[in-house]
Amino acid sequence: IDEVHIIGTSYGGEVALRFAIDFPDTVKSISVIDSVSELDEVLKLFVRGWKNAAKGGNPKKFFWDMVPTIYGDSFIRNNLKMLEERAMSLEKVNSDYFEGQIALYETFLGDVYMTDLLERISCPTLVVCGEEDILKPRKFSKIIADRIQKAEFAVIPDSGHVTIFEKPDVLNSMLLGFIMKNSDF
């Protein structure tokens, strides 16, 4: 692959940022959704809480400990049955799942420090944030958008951290428009 458009949400957005920093000639554009380029103490505590919940090995508790940090209020209110089903489906995972989660959280806590490198990103960038994202709030998306020269910034109303589930149609429309605008068709 010679050139790519990268779309990443949450940790995937941080991977997209890092890829655009390290391989600028390969990246045609990036779209970064509900992501950060640095951590504050609140975010670190959320992730450490998830890590402790994963160490506990109780799938339902793990899921419900995460829910208020990742979904917006109206999504939770309107989708309780679906969330309960997701919590029950997690009971089928084995211990490898939790070991993977713990490794992911440790990597996140140790690797996501790149605000000072963002000015190296030269490709068109779309930065999207859920308005009600308490895990990775708007301030982090604003830092990213302000540091990248060709960045566009969008906030999706009535959405928490998991914009891909909460407002998929709005997000898909934004992403398709952005990629089409930055493609050679």
Q: In a 10 Å sphere around its CB, with 0-12 CB exposed, 13-18 middle and 19+ buried, how is residue 136 labelled?
A: buried
**pLDDT given for residue 185 in this prediction:** 65
Q: Do 133 and 30 form a contact (C-beta atoms < 8 A)?
A: no
CA-based radius of gyration for the chain: 17
Residue 23 burial by Cβ neighbours in a 10 Å radius (0-12, 13-18, 19+): exposed
Domain boundary among 110, 134, 163: 110
Write down the pLDDT at residue 1.
Answer: 81
Residues 32, 73, single domain; the answer is no
Total structural domains in the chain? 2
Same domain, 122 and 162: yes
Q: Are residues 49 and 98 in the same domain?
A: yes
Q: Give residue-wise pLDDT tens across range 15-41.
A: 999 999 999 999 999 999 999 999 999
Domain residues for the domain of 119 are 4-38+115-181
Q: How confident is the model over 55-109, as pLDDT tens digits? A: 998 999 999 999 999 999 999 999 999 999 999 999 998 889 999 999 999 999 9
- What value does the mean pLDDT take over residues 114-130? 97
Q: Are residues 93 and 57 in the same domain?
A: yes
d(CA 56, CA 99): 11
pLDDT digits (tens, 9 = 90+) for 153-171: 999 999 999 999 999 999 9
Q: Quick one: pLDDT at residue 142?
A: 98
Rounded (10°) CA dihedral 165, 70, 11, 5: 30
Show the DSSP H helices in the chain as ranges: 11-22, 41-56, 59-70, 73-78, 80-89, 95-111, 138-147, 163-166, 168-181
What is the crossing angle of helices 59-70 and 80-89, to 10°? 140
